[in-house]
């Protein structure tokens, strides 16, 4: 027995030490090399292109309808690329879920996928998606898609086969013989275990219509990796990954939050996903990125999905805590939560990046126009904070024209883009739209605003929020007037070696406005 043990140990060590072989090679068994389509993919030497990007988050169903059926679609979005790139000035798009799904009108959210390899027919076809990617890339716009790895629709063929115990699909999901009497209460405030067939129960943390996949099954891991590769090969530049915190569970436990959320296996999975699925594109000069929907207000929790320098995970995570901090700062200059948050991340974040937003498709917060009761100056101020602050900005469709939407029912945040309102906004040189466009142009022209370090500048004027952004040999001084009155920035300017003002009105800063100066 000792000899047998030693032989097994020797073989294990030999396999571990062979070039290109590690314990991680089993994460996605049999996954091949990427094969990007050169006709639709955007070639680049810059692995961190996302740091310079200004993203626009599109809700496909609500954005642009090309055929008059009342549903936004891919051809409609293609037809609006000039608006996005030339008029507004964004450089990247995040598409809401586009795969074939079981969602119905009026919401049509798409997070309940039924076919991972096809565009939903209501949105278009795979060929139309390829055309869209080509046209976006011609304009220098990168595109990421929404991947939903945690669950599928209960109408997905995989799950239907699992219910019938066919083709080995039963093990792709999580079943048990009885429903736990306590614990396991999910997002819909009912049990996470839902009645299946033959007296069995299946696990679905969000609701019964979206059963969770079993990531302890290597076939599942490989399949989802292949799904990602399929769309990345098609030409997408990256992916936003939905609900990253819930992939693994301790099924035999009490079902407390610690048993269903942020398990070490989940965090390790995404480190493997980065290394084996995403990073191989870099050597082919088609660098891809992934951003996490890591919905938490916990600082350590945000960082955990970024990995380490030695074993990185997501290149970016959405900065959920700063959403309310930015919107509150625009209203109240004496609220210093944002000051401390940005300063802390700028000095302590050693790996990864943050994605900032003012609202999105979920019930995180109401759209700025609703939160600020239509006050355009407050909307401008919040946009200016986001577009001059650290991290990569994501602009939710319609916020640039003051569209309204109250959190509480997510469909309120997914209404049709108001093209008539845009037309009026474009005619008014003092409109919110033109403020957004000017701020985006500023950000794209100044590398320090995209990649620069952030440092608070103390000021005696309580109404002024001042900071520097420094990148390589460029240092910018940014001053926000968050008060209701015009304020002179001279007390700050006189203490700095100013080369010139590059943005904003000279002299007194108007209420809720921003100025930017280049320092010597």
Beta strands in 425-496 (DSSP E): 453-457, 464-471, 474-481
Is 293 annotated as catalytic? Answer: yes
Q: Tell me which of 37, 161, 165, 242 is the catalytic residue.
A: 242
Which token pair is 132? 């869209």
Instruction: Express the helix, strand and coil content of the chain in percent, nearest 5 each.
Output: 40, 20, 45
Give the C-alpha separation, 345 to 258, whole Å: 26
CA atoms within 13 A on the CB side of 249: 24
> Which parts of 139-201 fold into alpha helices (H)?
157-163
End-to-end CA distance of the chain: 74
Give the C-alpha separation, 145 to 137, whole Å: 15
Rg (the chain; Cα; Å): 24
Instruction: Report whether 447 contacts 474 (CB < 8 A).
Output: yes
Which strands form 201-203's sheet, in the order they lie side by side? 175-176, 201-203, 193-195
Count the residues in the chain.
520
Give the C-alpha separation, 215 to 464, whole Å: 50
- Which secondary structure element, helix H or strand E, spans residue 145, and what is its range? strand 142-147
Q: Tell me which of 112, 237, 262, 293 is the catalytic residue.
A: 293
201-237 burial string, b = 16+ CB within 10 Å, else e?
Answer: bbbbbbbbbbbbbbbebeebbbbbbbbbbebbbbbbb
- Closest Cα to residue 128, out of 103, 101, 98? 98
Is 310 annotated as catalytic? Answer: no
Q: Indicate which residues carry an active-site annotation.
A: 242, 293
């Amino acid at each position: 027995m000792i000899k047998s043990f030693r032989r097994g140990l020797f073989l294990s060590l030999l396999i571990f030490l062979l070039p290109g072989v590690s314990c991680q090679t089993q994460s996605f068994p049999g996954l091949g090399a990427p094969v990007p389509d050169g006709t639709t993919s955007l070639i680049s030497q810059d692995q961190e292109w996302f740091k310079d990007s200004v993203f626009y988050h599109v809700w496909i169903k609500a954005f642009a309808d090309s055929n008059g059926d009342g549903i936004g679609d891919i051809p409609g979005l293609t037809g609006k690329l000039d608006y996005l790139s030339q008029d507004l000035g964004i450089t990247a798009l995040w598409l809401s879920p586009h795969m074939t799904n079981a969602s119905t009108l009026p919401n049509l959210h798409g997070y309940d996928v039924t076919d991972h390899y096809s565009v939903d027919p209501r949105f278009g076809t795979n060929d139309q998606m390829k055309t869209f990617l080509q046209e976006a890339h011609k304009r220098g716009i990168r595109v990421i898609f929404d991947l939903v790895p945690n669950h599928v629709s209960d109408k997905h063929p995989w799950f239907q086969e699992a219910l019938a115990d066919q083709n080995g699909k039963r093990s792709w999901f999580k079943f048990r013989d009885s429903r736990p009497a306590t614990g396991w209460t999910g997002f819909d405030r009912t049990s996470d275990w839902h009645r299946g067939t033959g007296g069995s129960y299946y696990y679905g943390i969000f609701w019964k219509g979206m059963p969770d996949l079993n990531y302890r099954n290597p076939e599942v891991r490989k399949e989802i990796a292949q799904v990602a590769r399929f769309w990345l090969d098609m030409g997408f530049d990256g992916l936003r990954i939905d609900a990253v915190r819930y992939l693994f569970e301790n099924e035999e436990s009490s079902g407390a939050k610690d048993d269903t959320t942020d398990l070490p296996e989940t965090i390790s999975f995404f480190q493997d996903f980065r290394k084996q699925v995403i990073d191989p594109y870099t050597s082919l000069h088609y660098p891809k990125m992934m951003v996490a929907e890591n919905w938490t207000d916990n600082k350590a929790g945000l960082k955990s999905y970024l990995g380490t320098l030695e074993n990185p995970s997501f290149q970016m995570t959405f900065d959920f805590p700063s959403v309310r901090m930015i919107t509150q700062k625009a209203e109240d200059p004496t609220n210093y939560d944002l000051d401390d948050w940005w300063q802390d991340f700028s000095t302590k974040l050693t790996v990864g990046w943050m994605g900032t937003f003012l609202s999105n498709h979920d019930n995180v917060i109401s759209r700025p126009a609703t939160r600020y009761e239509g006050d355009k100056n407050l909307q401008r101020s919040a946009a200016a904070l986001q577009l001059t602050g650290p991290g990569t900005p994501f602009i939710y469709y319609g916020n640039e024209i003051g569209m309204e939407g109250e959190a509480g029912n997510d469909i309120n945040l997914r209404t049709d883009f108001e093209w008539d309102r845009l037309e009026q906004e474009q005619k008014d040189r003092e409109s919110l739209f033109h403020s957004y466009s000017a701020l985006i142009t500023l950000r794209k022209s100044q590398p320090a605003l995209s990649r620069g370090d952030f440092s608070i500048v103390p000021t005696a004027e309580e109404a002024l929020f001042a900071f520097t952004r420094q990148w390589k040999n460029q240092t910018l001084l940014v001053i926000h007037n968050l008060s209701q009155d015009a304020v002179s920035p001279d007390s700050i300017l006189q203490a700095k070696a100013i080369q010139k003002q590059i943005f904003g009105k000279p002299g007194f800063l108007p209420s809720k406005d921003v100025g930017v100066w280049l320092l010597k």
